[in-house]
Structure 1
Amino acid sequence: MKPIKTSLPAGTYIHATLPGAHFADCYQMDDLWPDKDAFQTYLHLTGRTPGWMNALMAMRNQAVRLVGLKHLGAMAATDATRPASSYQLGQRVGIFSLQHLEPNEAVMCDDDKHLRVELSLVKHVVDRAPKVSLSTVVHLHNGLGRAYMAVVGPVHSLIVPLMLRQVAHA
């Protein structure tokens, strides 16, 4: 199963955040957990984040500390046994805060002085097959955000599909 790059799902919360965005992408793959809602699937995916991705996040956290950006921690929620139903809007979930929640879409975000990033997991049906779409939308706040995305943007486009493939095979 190979994630494919596609457009953000129309009619979703994340799609509505596109105006003014400086970066946006979406990767779609088969829904390997059709019995879970969007947020449960997000927790399931991030809970299987490969070690190399957490190592990259640790390197990122050390590097950006030098310019006063937030230390985000690791991708996965810190308590793997915590049920999805116990999370409330605004609470931290790994490196993001839970922003929007519907059965078919979960949106997480982080807003720092340089940029605002929103990540959405949408569960939907495409050509009669259950799919998951993972979308990222970034709004830049300043020159530091532009410099950050000049480095992170190209890397993001390589890492996300690789991570999704590895998570799906885990």
Structure 2
Amino acid sequence: MNLVEAKYFEYTINIFKKSLEYRGNDNLPTYKILWKHNDKLLFANTLNIDNDYNILINKLSPDFNPYHDELPIVENGKFPIDIIESVHQKYFHSGFSNPVSLYNDPLALLKESISSAKSLDKFHLDNPEYRLLNVSYLDSKTTLPFILIDENFELEPVSLIEVSKN
């Protein structure tokens, strides 16, 4: 999948967790995505997300100080509201929907998140920031805070690895 699809995929997993926590499910695992790129396995984030699952974008103040601002979710049909609505419509369609067992099964969550992310007709992400964050390669001890990539960069999600429980 290209970087934009990967961002939709990663955010889908975050929407599942946020929605389940909102419905009172505590102690949910946190997953890291194991990606494959050019036959190399790596952990990386495609999005910068805060503790409240808001997507943060890089900004520069008038006096050239970098800071993070939340990506607004008010525009209909654009990222991230399009994937939020898609996930809620499919998995949280009623007040009684509670797919916690899906979330707790990493293989099922991986498959469903890929399916959900790819089910959209169009991807609407302005300025997708072509970079990966918190990159660590499995075959070496190389860790990088970020890497810049081009728009043709392809990632394949391989697995979800549980890193912690809240």
The TM-score normalised by the length of structure 2 is 0.29
Higher relative contact order (CA 8 A, sep 6+): 2
Looking at secondary structure, tell me which structure has more helix per residue.
1
